[in-house]
Amino acid sequence: MSESQSPLLEVRGFSWWATNAGIKDKSLDFGVIAASRPCSAAALFTRNNFPAAPVILGRERLRSGRLQAVVVNSKNANAASGERGLADARRTAQVLGEALGIDPALVLPSSTGVIGVNLPMDKIEAACRGAPQGLASTPEAIDQFARAIMTTDTRRKAVSVKVGAATLTGVAKGAGMIEPNMATMLAFLVTDAEIPAPSLQAALSSATERSFNRITIDGDTSTNDTALVMASGLAGKVSESAFEGALLEVCQHLAKAIVEDGEGATKLIELTVSEAPSTEAALAIAKSIVNSPLVKTAIYGADPNWGRFVMAIGKVFAHPVPLEKLVIRFGDGEQALAIRAGGQAADVLERIRAYLKNPVLHIEVSLGQGRARETVWGCDLTEGYIKENAYYTS
């Protein structure tokens, strides 16, 4: 589970910066993405009923379908922070806009970190004023920005792909408080393709549905989740379907990178529920399995305890499944090891035990009820998750 090996690519019209604003310690905690001109933009935000201040402001600003800069801090979520929190978010955008000489209404603030503490605005404002000197379009600058938005992440998450003459580069963060409802983390994508905001929004919604909304680490939905894409247009028009394909590729890459880096995780679980009566049933059952602490700990221990899958499928009360048709397959294609209720050869269980020691696991649960087929991604549950979250200083 290493950082992506493919090189990060510059995107015409965008520059990046990261610094230490001193919010908590000496590590990178502040980043800016700035465009050379107003971009078309689209975003999706958390469904948590207590959205953070920057999410409230972001929803308002995205109505215009236009943005020129993003200013992000880690170490503080600016959530449950009251009227002052909202004023702080507005002020951050204002100061950055003035520093860069752009319309502050085209600046989106974003925050991640502890909930319920107000931002140290003197430090934030000072950092904003440093942006003009620091911004650069290089891959190194993108890399530094991706590191600045990390919290409990152990690896920076970023990827670039080409779409015709255009480039699409995305960065993301997320390692805990991750559950598949809306874009449950921060992800910032930029492209120099020319795409109007409504098309961008439609493409982002569709890609998010099949990527960020399909991952889970702990079933907890953050107050700050944001997925954003900005298009500068400097590379001209590209094929719409090619762009949608590239956007899905980047979103899935980043989504899987988030789960691989799940707090304490040692294994990535790619789980497909097939032969389901409906998409809704397939997703409900897939999430029940991949969120079950008993399934997650069994996979951590490489224990072929398939009875826990049966339990997790059976606790989706709304979608009963005929047990006699249920098949659970571990592994890919011809090599897959199949389990059916009612007794297995011991050697199959031993081979599944060996398979479960791999860092990336493909598991398919066939319900024998219909034709819907959906895939989700999760991770195992380990002592590392407990340590991270019991002692993560509030």
Rounded to a whole number of angstroms, the minimum distance from the CB of residue 333 to a second copy is 25
Q: Smaller CB distance to a second copy: residue 192 or 380?
A: 380
Distance of CA 339 to the CA centre of its chain: 32
Q: Smaller CB distance to a second copy: residue 132 or 314?
A: 314
Answer for which of 84, 210, 351, 373 binds a second copy (CB under 8 A) is 84
Options 29-37, 141-149, 195-203, 336-344: segment touching a second copy (CB under 8 A):
336-344
Q: Smaller CB distance to a second copy: residue 198 or 307?
A: 307
Q: Which two tokens stand for residue 246?
A: 């590239």
Answer for which of 135, 312, 337, 376 binds a second copy (CB under 8 A) is 312
Between the alpha carbon of residue 121 and those of residues 34, 80, 113, 378, the distances in Å are 21, 16, 15, 37
Rounded to a whole number of angstroms, the minimum distance from the CB of residue 245 to a second copy is 31
Q: Smaller CB distance to a second copy: residue 231 or 295?
A: 295
Indicate which residue of 151, 167, 184, 382 is catalytic.
184
210-229 binders of a second copy (CB under 8 A): 218-223
> Residues 223, 78: contact at Cβ < 8 Å?
no
266-305 binders of a second copy (CB under 8 A): 291-294, 297-298, 300-301, 303-305
Answer for which of 7, 101, 333, 342 binds a second copy (CB under 8 A) is 342
For position 345 contacting a second copy by CB under 8 A, the verdict is no
Answer for which of 1, 105, 121, 316 binds a second copy (CB under 8 A) is 316
Q: Smaller CB distance to a second copy: residue 174 or 304?
A: 304
64-83 binders of a second copy (CB under 8 A): 77, 79-83
Task: Write the single-letter amino acid at 60.
Answer: E
Q: Smaller CB distance to a second copy: residue 170 or 378?
A: 378
For position 7 contacting a second copy by CB under 8 A, the verdict is no
**Contact track, a second copy, 111-150, x by CB under 8 A:** ---xxxxx--------------------------------
Rounded to a whole number of angstroms, the minimum distance from the CB of residue 11 to a second copy is 33
For position 196 contacting a second copy by CB under 8 A, the verdict is no
Scan for tokens 């680490």, then name that residue.
217
For position 176 contacting a second copy by CB under 8 A, the verdict is yes
Q: Smaller CB distance to a second copy: residue 164 or 370?
A: 370
For position 359 contacting a second copy by CB under 8 A, the verdict is no
Task: Report the C-alpha gap between 90 and 57 in whole angstroms.
Answer: 7
Known active-site residue 184: yes
Task: Report the C-alpha gap between 138 and 344 in whole angstroms.
Answer: 56
Options 12-20, 188-196, 234-242, 337-345: segment touching a second copy (CB under 8 A):
337-345
Scan for tokens 């097939």, then name that residue.
274
Partners of 268 in beta bridges: 360, 379
Q: Smaller CB distance to a second copy: residue 237 or 315?
A: 315
Q: How many residues make contact with a second copy (CB under 8 A)? A: 72
Answer for which of 315, 325, 357, 371 binds a second copy (CB under 8 A) is 315
For position 311 contacting a second copy by CB under 8 A, the verdict is yes
For position 208 contacting a second copy by CB under 8 A, the verdict is no
Residues carrying an active site annotation: 184
